[in-house]
């Protein structure tokens, strides 16, 4: 079975006064437990490394059992970062990565 190559995706954006940099952390895949792990993006502050935000986008299944690779929309990404801030992610704090599963 062939493996899909991970895309080289990254970018920068400003959300609510925070300069942030995002990068593709992993493509969607199946975990060892048989569950699926969606596409994951890592978001951090551009000026200094602090608490990482991981945005996970669930699988989108296509007919025939295939899965679609989601495209990254900067407007949706900004909205999802705002949702993570509302859910408790503090870009200036330290600690473990904060994970938000997006719809």
- Confidence band, pLDDT 50/70/90 cuts, at residue 30: low
Q: Considering only residues 28 and 10, tell me which one the structure prediction assigns the higher pLDDT.
A: 10
What are the boundaries of each domain within the chain?
10-101
Q: Which stretches of 57-101 are DSSP H helices? A: 74-86
At 70, the pLDDT band (50, 70, 90 cuts) reads confident
State the average pLDDT for the chain.
Answer: 84
Pairing mode, if any, of strands 53-57 and 98-101? parallel
> Quick count: other Cβ atoms within 10 Å of Cβ 55?
25
User: Which residue carries 């954006």 as its tokens?
Assistant: 13
């Amino acid at each position: 079975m062939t493996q899909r190559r991970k895309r080289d995706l990254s970018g920068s954006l400003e959300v609510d006064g925070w300069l942030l940099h995002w990068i593709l952390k992993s493509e969607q895949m199946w975990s060892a437990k048989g569950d699926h792990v969606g596409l994951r993006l890592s978001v951090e502050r551009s000026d200094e490394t602090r608490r990482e935000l991981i945005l996970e986008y669930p699988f989108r299944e296509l007919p025939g059992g295939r899965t679609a690779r989601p495209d990254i929309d900067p407007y949706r990404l900004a909205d999802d970062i705002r949702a993570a801030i509302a859910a408790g992610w503090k870009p200036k704090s330290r600690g473990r990565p904060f994970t938000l599963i997006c719809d």
